[in-house]
Structure 1
Amino acid sequence: MSTPLFPLFADLRGRPVLVVGGGAVAERKTEALLRAGARPRLVAPELTTALQGWRDDGRIDWTQGVFQPAQLDGVWLVIAATADGTVNRAVAAAAEARCLLANVVDDAELSTFQVPAVVERGLLQVAISSGGGAPMVARHLRRQLETMLDDSWGDLVGLLTRQRDRIRQRFPDMGERRRFFERLLASPLPRLYRQRLQAQAENLFQSALDESVQRAPEGSVALVGAGPGDAGLVTLNALRAMNEADVILHDRLVSDDVLRLARRDATCIEVGKSASGHSVKQDEIHALMLAHARAGKRVVRLKGGDPFVFGRGGEELEFLRAHGIPYEVVPGITAAVACAAYAGIPLTHRDHAQSVRFVTAHCKDSLDTLDWASLAQGQQTLAIYMGVAGLENIRARLIEGGRSPQTPFAIVENGSRREQRVLNGTLADLPETARSHQVRSPALLILGEVAALAQTLHWFGHAPLQPTGTPTHSRNPQAPTLQAA
Structure 2
Amino acid sequence: MRLRGRPVILIGTGEMAAAKRRLLERAGAVVVGEDAQAALAIVVDDEGAVARLKARGVLVNAVDRPDLCDFTLPAIVERGDVIVAVGTGGVSAGLAAALRQRIEAWLPADLGALARALHAARERIRARYPDGGERRRAIGAALAPGGVLDPLAGDGDVEGWLAGAEAAPARLAVFAITSPDPDQLTLAAARALAQADRVYHAPGIAAAILDRARADAVRIAGSPPAELPPGIIVHLEDRR
Q: TM exceeds 0.5?
A: yes
1:39 CA displacement:
2.2
SS at match of 2:150: helix
Q: Give TM-score, length-normalised by structure 1.
A: 0.32
The residue aligned with 2:3 is: 12
Deviations 1:15-60 (A, max 9, x none): 111112353322322222223232222x3xxxxxxxxxxxxxxxxx
Q: Corresponding residue for 2:167?
A: 214
* Cα offsets for 1:342-375 (capped at 9, x unmatched): xxxxxxxxxxxxxxxxxxxxxxxxxxxxxxxxxx
Q: Tell me what 1:103 maps to.
A: 61
RMSD value, Cα: 2.8
**What is the CA–CA distance in structure 2 between the aligned matches of 1:170 and 1:101, rounded to whole Å?**
44
Q: How far apart, CA to CA, are the structure 2 residues paired with 1:191 and 1:130?
A: 25
TM-score by length of 2: 0.61
Pairs within 5 Å for 1:77-156: 77-81=40-44, 85=45, 88-156=46-114
Q: Deviations over 1:401-435 (max 9, x none)?
A: xxxxxxxxxxxxxxxxxxxxxxxxxxxxxxxxxxx
Letter in 2 for 1:189: L
Partners in 2 of 1:181 and 1:168 — Cα distance? 11
Match of 1:359 in 2: none
Matched ranges for 1:330-479 at <5 A: none
Q: Cα 1:30–1:171, aligned 2, differ >3 Å: closer, same or farther?
A: farther
Matching residue within 204, 227, 237 for 2:160: 204
Percent identity between matched residues is: 36
Distance 1:168 1:128 in 2: 31
Query: Structure 2 CA distance, aligned partners of 1:191 and 1:126?
Result: 13
> Any conservation in 2 of the 1:152–1:190 contact (CA below 8 Å)?
no
1:101–1:25 CA distance, 2 compared to 1 (3 A): same
When residues 37 and 159 of structure 1 are mapped into structure 2, their CA distance, relative to the original with a 3 A threshold, is: farther
Deviation at 1:116, TM superposition (A): 1.0
> Closer, same or farther in 2 for the Cα pair 1:191/1:78, shift >3 Å?
closer
Identify the match of residue 178 of structure 1 among 136, 149, 155: 136
Give the residue type in structure 1 aligned to 2:159.
N
Q: Deviations over 1:63-115 (max 9, x none)?
A: xxxx4xx32x2x1211113xxx4xx2122112222322111111112211111
Q: CA deviation at 1:166?
A: 3.8
Structure showing greater Rg: 1
Residues 431-454 of structure 1 show CA distances to partners (whole Å, capped at 9, x for unaligned) of xxxxxxxxxxxxxxxxxxxxxxxx
Superposed displacement of residue 131, structure 1: 1.7
Deviations 1:130-162 (A, max 9, x none): 221222222222222222222233222222233
Structure 2 match to 1:33 = 24
C-alpha distance in 2, partners of 1:192/1:119? Answer: 14
Task: Call closer, same or farther: CA 1:77–1:190 in 2, change over 3 Å.
Answer: same
Tell me how far apart the structure 2 counterparts of residues 179 and 141 of structure 1 sit (CA, whole Å): 29
Instruction: For residue 205 of structure 1, report the CA deviation from its aligned partner.
Output: 3.7
Extract structure 1 runs of 4+ deviating beyond 6 A.
none
- Alpha carbons of structure 1 residues 12 and 164: separation in structure 2 relative to 1, 3 Å: farther
Q: CA deviation at 1:193?
A: 6.4
Unaligned runs of 5+ in 2: 170-185, 190-240
Tell me if structure 2 keeps the 8 A contact 1:153–1:190. Answer: no
Paired residue secondary structure (2:66): coil
DSSP 3-state at the match of 1:93? helix
1:157 alignment counterpart = 115
| 1:210-252 Cα distance to aligned partner (Å, 9 max, x none) | x4x3379xxxxxxxxxxxxxxxxxxxxxxxxxxxxxxxxxxxx
